[in-house]
């Protein structure tokens, strides 16, 4: 396996926002949405879901954190 064939994914689970991307990757290839755009995409597209695994600063749903 080549080192570049699988890139590591970095996920920052903050209390207000979750940020994700590829380690040392190009952000232009990543589909992500913020705010109202994320809500619109989740309602109109079956490929995107909004899940809130963190409640009051604590992880409430560990399966969703994966």
Q: What is the pLDDT along the chain (66 residues), one digit of tens a residue?
A: 455 566 677 777 776 777 777 776 555 666 677 788 888 888 887 777 778 888 888 888 888 877
Residue 2 domain-assigned (yes or no): no
d(CA 19, CA 14): 8
Residue 4 domain-assigned (yes or no): no
Angle, CA 6 vertex, CA 41 and CA 11 arms, to 5°:
50
Residue 3 domain-assigned (yes or no): no
Q: What is the number of domains present in the chain?
A: 1
Q: Which domain holds residue 52?
A: 9-65
3-state secondary structure of 7: coil
Q: What's the gap between Cα 20 and its chain centre?
A: 5
Least Cα distance to 16 among 64, 60, 55 occurs for 55
């Amino acid at each position: 396996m080549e080192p570049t064939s699988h890139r590591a994914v970095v996920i920052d689970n903050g209390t207000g926002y979750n940020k994700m991307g590829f380690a040392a990757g190009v952000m232009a290839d990543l589909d992500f949405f913020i705010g109202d755009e994320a809500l619109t995409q989740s309602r109109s597209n079956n490929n995107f879901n909004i899940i809130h695994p963190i409640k009051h600063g604590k992880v409430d749903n560990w399966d969703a954190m994966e």
